[in-house]
Amino acid sequence: MAPIFLLLQAVVGAFLFLYFPESEAVLCYENSDQGVGTCPDDAYLGDGVTDIECCWNIKYSYKTDATSPCQACRPAKWSAWSEWSPCTVSCKEGIEIRRRSCIGQGDCDGDAIEVQACSLQSCCPENGGWSGWSSWSQCSVTCERGTMERTRECNNPPPECGGTCPGTKKEVAPCDTQQICPTHGSWGSWGSWGACSGACITEGSAIFPNQVRQRSCNNPTPSTNPPGNPCTGDKQEIQDCKTLPFCPVHGGWGEWKKVSECSVTCGLGRVGEERVCNNPAPKHGGRGCPGSPIRHILCNTKTECPIDGEWSEWQDWSDCQLLGEDIRCKKRAGIQSRKRECLGTNYGGKWCETPYREGRNCYNVEKCIIRTTRWSEWSPWSLCSASCGVSERTRQRVCEPIYQDYPDTVTTATKVSEVFFHGTPRFQCQPINNEKLKVVETIPCQNVPKC
């Protein structure tokens, strides 16, 4: 077991050397948003530590400075795919795009963008035409100037597929009755309250000064010819000043006091501190204490965090054999196996669960001549090949061998197992368009934006 542990230490050390060849001071965060690769503000631990110390816990992330991008400590992985973008056209066929980001230390295998065809509706809107205008309506007032209007309908012809008629349905024009209207008086807005007769009151006093506000009959002023009605009601209001302030006392903070221990037992964590606004406490409208009553400061355990192992990809299946017997091209089942490795365990982390080796029954058909074949059904259309410029999609049919008289399963004393075919046989189908193994169709994607 000791040699395996030393080997894993070497693997982790190589990982740290590859992605942190020269350590530097960083801003350290407890975690990162795995979907978009950002460092949340509420996860900030502090600065004054190196990138290697911060990444003792591979769930953490860091920035080299406040404006630099967030870097996750763990090995690189793809984020989840984004939602599909809106279709490039609102009618007929276009394309839509989705993307993902490679977050972490290193590179990710695969594509960061996918494109597929889309159609929001099968037809495009066509505008209609207006009918003739109706007659003008009567004037909206019986004196002085008003308005009159006329309308028309969007039915000559009606629009199709969600179209409209350009222009307005209603037209308004001024009209003059040649009659003068009387103007009735109305109050203007109340003016501001005047100053109180005193600047402040003593706490507990029952005597209040008063203040006055006024308004004018000028919104509008009543006319004289023809005569308009005057304003009704009072032009002045008086009220007591019951809310005069006491002299304010502004608050001041007390001392910081520790309220929690370090939040972690490995890597970097936080220690909580609190303070109270009581030196003095605010009173009579005085300002409260600025800032937060709670803060968290960095604590360093000087201890690496455990790293649990992760399985590597499965290795290729071994050759299909049966105790040294030649079973190639025979209807006799053999055995093949494959294995994988548990990588990355360090600092007391957990070893990988589930088996590291698996086997299966097989037929060895390497270079065997298979005379019975068939063409597959057409595959689904592929995604579009590009997000701009020339873009196309394809589908295909492939020639498939038919393994006659090969049993699908093999029975042992304890169970019935499926049997797999291993190797590359020799075969071909009746030609389609002079092709004997694969037929491909290609069509262009429509309405793709220019690059």
- pLDDT-based confidence at 11, cuts 50/70/90? very low
Measure the CA–CA gap between 283 and 288, rounded to whole angstroms.
9
pLDDT above 80: residue 404: yes
Domains, the chain, with CATH or none: 2-74 (no CATH), 257-300 (2.20.100.10), 312-358 (no CATH)
Per-residue pLDDT at 119: 87
Q: In this structure, what are the phi and psi dihedrals at residue 9, rounded to the nearest 5 degrees?
A: -60, -40
For the stretch 388-398, pLDDT in tens is 999 999 999 99
Question: What average pLDDT score do residues 222-246 get?
Answer: 84
Measure the CA–CA gap between 48 and 39, rounded to whole angstroms.
17
Cα–Cα nearest to 73, from 127, 37, 111, 36: 37
For the stretch 12-63, pLDDT in tens is 444 444 444 567 899 999 887 765 567 888 889 989 899 889 988 888 889 8
- Comparing 34-43, 50-59, 220-229, 442-451, which segment has the lowest mean pLDDT? 34-43
What count of residues does the chain have? 451
For the stretch 114-161, pLDDT in tens is 999 898 888 888 888 898 888 988 888 878 888 999 999 998 899 988
For the stretch 262-321, pLDDT in tens is 889 899 999 999 999 999 888 888 889 998 999 988 989 898 999 999 999 999 999 999
Whether pTM exceeds 0.95:
no
Here the tokens at position 125 are 């809107």
